[in-house]
Amino acid sequence: MKIIPVKIPNIAKTLLPNFTWNIDTLNKELYLTFDDGPTPEITDWVLSQLKTYKAKATFFCIGNNIEKHPDIFQKVIKDGHSVGNHTYNHLKGWKSKTEDYLEDVEKTQLLINSNKAKIVINKLESNPSNLKLFRPPYGKFKPNQSKQIRKLGYKIVLWEVLPFDWDKSVSEETCLKNITSTAKQGSIIVLHDSVKASRNLKYVLPRVLEYYSKRGYCFNAITS
């Protein structure tokens, strides 16, 4: 079994207060997030699983994938989930010039906005058009990139629980335990609707939904 840190320590939240790590709540609710989609078959499967449990989630999408699969992206919105920006090319911020990084982010936001505009307005009630969510690929970027992105009006969302679903050296059972042993009220959990993560995701997601639903939790999208 691979031993990995899956929960963000409180010191990180204290040192980086401008990021959203979890949602403050007294209710039994969790926040599932999915990075790297939309991906044919996998994202559709995720949407089906969420619908079974009347769960809502937040999808941080890669612009290039939105452009290639607009029908799947629009389905995410129509199903009442929130969407966020994950750059156009899944850029490594620390290896990118800030100007290029911001251009990549804004290119993706234009795609998000144009696709939202194609959907009937009453389908967007839970997805405010003025809410701009952003998550940096790999959870890393330069301080100046972070500062500039916040100046552009983005809410930067990181996470509290990282189960490493994309890591093929992590077994399905360990990936599941990484969540169930760690997530609590208000936790933001990162999963990936990608080919790389599909083995673990298809094992973990239905079990997480069932496990927490039986314990009285609901699953909400990030909407503010």
Q: Is 5 inside a domain boundary?
A: no
Q: How many independent structural domains does the chain possess?
A: 1
Q: Is 2 inside a domain boundary?
A: no
Q: What is the dihedral of CA 184, 190, 192, 193, to 10 degrees?
A: 60
CATH of residue 146? 3.20.20.370
3-state secondary structure of 127: coil
Cα(188)–Cα(29) distance, integer angstroms = 10
Q: Is 136 inside a domain boundary?
A: yes
Range of the domain at 163: 10-219
Q: Is 67 inside a domain boundary?
A: yes
Q: Is 1 inside a domain boundary?
A: no
Model confidence pLDDT, tens digit, residues 5-41: 455 556 556 656 689 999 999 999 999 999 999 999 9
Residues annotated as part of the active site: 35, 192
Model confidence pLDDT, tens digit, residues 70-113: 999 999 999 999 999 999 999 999 999 999 999 999 999 999 99
What are residue 132's phi and psi, to 5 degrees?
Answer: -115, 110
* pTM, two decimal places: 0.91
Q: Is 224 inside a domain boundary?
A: no
Cα(90)–Cα(82) distance, integer angstroms = 19
Q: Is 197 inside a domain boundary?
A: yes
Query: Closest Cα to residue 63, out of 18, 104, 17?
Result: 104
